[in-house]
Chain A
Amino acid sequence: MSRSDAPAGDGAAPDGTDGTDADGAQRDPLVEVRNLKKYYEDDGFLTGDPVKAVDGVSFDIRKGETLGLVGESGCGKTTLGRTILGLESATDGEVVSDGREVARLSGKQLREWQRDAQMVFQDPEASLNDRMTVGEIIREPLDAHEQGTKAERKERVFELIDLVGLNEEHYYRYPHQFSGGQRQRIGIARALALEPEFMVLDEPVSALDVSVQARVINLLEDLQDELGLTYLFIAHDLSVVRHIADRVAVMYLGDIVELGDTEAVYNDPAHPYTVSLLSAIPGSHTGTDRDRVTLRGTPPSPRDPPQGCRFATRCPARVRPAAFADLPETAWDGIDALDTVLRERASLEDGLTDRLRRSLGLAADANDIDEVVADLFGWHPGEQSPQEGEGPLTSEARAAVEDAVRFARRGEDEEAAAVLREAFGSVCNRERPEAHVVDGDGRTSACVRHTDEYDSPAAAIDERYARRDD
């Protein structure tokens, strides 16, 4: 279901929320994704851990809906789209559509699925062969699947050209003669050639200027209405997704952390990552009146995702151990920053000079961890034992930091990080949170704070910001 131009008598959601309640609750899933995983192994050389691009996600894509898929680069959203289409083989889990288990299809059945499900790419330039005319490009899938006679195929191409708002004479031109918006129309026409029922749109408007982007978005909405298409719309632009998607799934580091009706999610995000992500949209038109929650750092590597909750290293609502309930926010800033430093040091491959130094027995800069601690907490662990009340840490907290520092001084960064997390970690660092249903429409959010035991994410974030302001 698309929002625009709902046909008369369609009984669109009377409350205007345009959620799934009008007809969506009964709407059948077109694609069921179950515990899907996609890992990439290294190419033999340096056999480390695999990259866990998609790490066990489950959701439905409903017939006729637009499901938005948002997240930052490296979160796995494109891999997820490609794996659903069978363009990548799944490491584990299932993608089921119409009784077919897509991830296991081969031969004729795979070809059938790849006819019913199509992909539109971000970069129309890279995906269009510049040596073929527009007509040939759009006709190629028809030729490959041997649809109809030659004349029929040609006629079909003209239909498609018209459908996406290009002109007949464009048939004989080459892609480079077109603007970005027109090239994207060519890509869409090609994807529509085999009359798919499902399309994965991977950042289809990201490379376009806003005024052009608006026209392509309108076209996609019109096509959906006309042809009854189902979309998985992948984008990093949160405003575009808000406009086009009926439901939205938010991805972080290979995991879907929240999934629900678009308006509900945007108006009242449940998961701490969604809260932070939406608050980062620049400008005043974003519709959230929350204060900005600035995340520190960058997402960890999908090769070495944090244990427990994937978001724990950056989460503004991470549960803290009761023993340290009284630490001020500045202390937590320091602890979190130290954790990031240790993690990064542990994951960085040693540079040549580092290795050389070590082989020469020169741990020349190992002691600079003391400087990091001095910067973060205002006390130099190597030099003096601090007075009670000096710096933001309590004496127990300081003892824990000192434990970690001892490892870091010897260059054992991984152990240092583990020691730090042992002291300051919590359920968030130990258990992978399950998805909880958080509203009446079946929205899910994967965070321990949706259980009775803890304050809600929003309450926790607000409380911490308030403490900071005091």
Chain B
Amino acid sequence: MAAPDDGADGDEPLLAVEDLTTVFHTDKETIRAVDGVSFEVSEGETVGVVGESGSGKSVTARSILGLIESPGTIESGSIRFRGEELTGGNWERHRGDLSIVFQDPINSMNPVYTVGNQIREALRIHQGLRGQAAREEAVRLLEAVGIPDARRRVGEYPHQFSGGMRQRAVIAMALACDPDLLVCDEPTTALDVTIQAQILELLDDLQREEDLAILFITHDMGVIEETADRVNVMYAGEVVESAPVETLFDGPAHPYTRGLLASIPGRTATGDRLPTIEGEVPTPTESASDCRYAPRCPDAFDACERVHPEHVRVGPDQTAACLLHEEVRPRPDGRGDRGRRRRRRGRRG
């Protein structure tokens, strides 16, 4: 597991997202789908972004790839790849350096071309390979992603592949661009659990062999636990907690993270009722002047509706955007004092 770059030595991480805000304009309102998101991905590292629907995780992925289309727009913030700013139309120069694998492989492939054709096309554009060299490389890539009988299957059409095989082929296409960063947007969500296990294993192997950095977007905490070195938890357009994966699962600091983990069946003794989070994820239309989780938060107190929580360090390598963790906060009646909370959490973290 790679240590996240703390920037102290001035080295730029592979990918640095800073204060990213992506909005969608509708007739009535402006939806702030991603609202001030920051995180980094270092070389060879897997960074997870986890959240429920409406959290903004997929829009974050698309923003990074430059795939936001009208009525959406990146309103502000910066996305730097190897130190170079991508926003403002600089994606073309890094087309092959960043690749994305979507949830639904069939939409990522063209049904009228063979799988081999599509991989060769990517190889031609991104690596300048043609003819026999491209053919050989296409077979090698299909073999690398664990497709048996690659030499024959390279000549088949996407519909002749099963779901799992198709996702492997899509990963092979993504690898044909020879990327440094692979963005995986729910790549296993449409797959059965035994096939998911195969794909996760494959990504893990590829990461080691090809020294890939992976940005892994998912709603599934189990998948995150398995794949990520570092996790960012998103809620209503914002990252509310960021921590190394073990830290997050052992000692979640944000009330939303805690609620989310508790509501997963299997983490609660089977005889018990599942703990729940009341209410629904809001759709943010204004920039936040409060904590967006406050209406649902069991720990909310009055300041939560007036103050927008900034990220504060709650452990050696863990941050949370929650006023419980602020340096100063009004003491609500009947609640334990902040110092005690912090000490307890400090031990855990």
Contact = CB atoms under 8 A, between A and B. Distances in A.
B160 A348 contact: yes
A72 B165 CA distance: 15
Nearest to B139: A371
A179 B280 contact: yes
Given A236-B192, A277-B194, A284-B249, A211 B260 contact: yes
B268 A243 contact: yes
A281 B196 CA distance: 9
Given A73-B192, A292-B197, A213 B263 contact: yes
Interface in A128-177: none
B267 A210 contact: no
B193 interface: yes
Given A210-B219, A218-B276, A236-B192, 17 more contacts: A209-B52, A209-B53, A211-B260, A215-B276, A217-B274, A237-B265, A242-B270, A279-B197, A280-B197, A282-B197, A282-B225, A283-B221, A283-B225, A287-B266, A345-B149, A345-B152, A372-B149
B52 A210 contact: yes
A374 B143 CA distance: 13
Interface stretch (A31-39, A189-197, A336-344, A452-460): A336-344
Interface string B94-132: 000000000000000000000000000000000000000
Interface string B148-170: 11011001110010111100000
Given A210-B219, A263-B270, A372-B149, A295 B194 contact: yes
Bin chain B's interface residue count: 35 or more
A210 B201 CA distance: 24
B148 A341 contact: yes
A280 B194 contact: yes
B273 A218 contact: yes
A2 B157 CA distance: 48
Interface string B269-281: 0111111111011
Given A3-B270, A294-B201, A286 B195 contact: no
A286 B192 contact: no
B255 to A, nearest CB: 12
- Top 4 A-B pairs, shortest CB-CB distance: A283-B222, A239-B266, A243-B265, A72-B192
B259 interface: yes
Interface in B263-320: 263-268, 270-278, 280-281
A368 interface: yes
Contacts of B207: none
B263 A214 contact: yes
Contact of B271 (A18, A210, A211, A375): A18
Contacts of A395: none
B73 interface: no
Interface string B194-222: 11111011000000000000000001111
Interface in B227-242: none
A348 B161 CA distance: 10
B270 to A, nearest CB: 5
19 contacts: A4-B271, A5-B273, A210-B52, A210-B221, A211-B277, A212-B280, A214-B277, A217-B274, A218-B276, A242-B270, A262-B270, A282-B200, A283-B226, A284-B225, A298-B164, A298-B165, A344-B149, A345-B149, A365-B151
A284 B227 CA distance: 12
Interface in A369-417: 371-372, 375
Contacts, number: 147
Contact of B52 (A4, A211, A280): A211
B197 A214 contact: no
Interface of A: 3-5, 16, 18, 72-73, 179, 181, 209-215, 217-218, 221, 236-240, 242-244, 262-263, 276-277, 279-287, 292, 294-298, 337, 340-341, 344-345, 348, 351, 353, 365, 368, 371-372, 375
B223 interface: yes
Nearest to A215: B276
Most chain A CB atoms below 10 A, which of B193, B223, B277, B280: B193
B124 to A, nearest CB: 21
Which of B151, B156, B165, B264 has the most A CB atoms < 10 Å from its CB?
A: B264
A288 to B, nearest CB: 11
Given A282-B197, A283-B225, A298-B162, A4 B263 contact: no
Highest count of chain A CB atoms <10 Å: which of B263, B266, B268: B266
Given A213-B263, A214-B275, A242-B265, A282 B149 contact: no
B38 to A, nearest CB: 24
Contacts of B193: 72, 236, 238, 277, 280-282
B273 A285 contact: no
B274 A280 contact: no
A284 B246 CA distance: 10
B160 A4 contact: no
Contacts of B280: 179, 181, 212
Contact of B222 (A18, A72, A282): A282
Contacts of B263: 210-211, 213-214
Contacts of B275: 214
Nearest to A344: B149
Contacts of B249: 284
Contacts of B164: 298
A215 B52 CA distance: 15
Interface in B170-207: 192-198, 200-201
B221 A72 contact: no
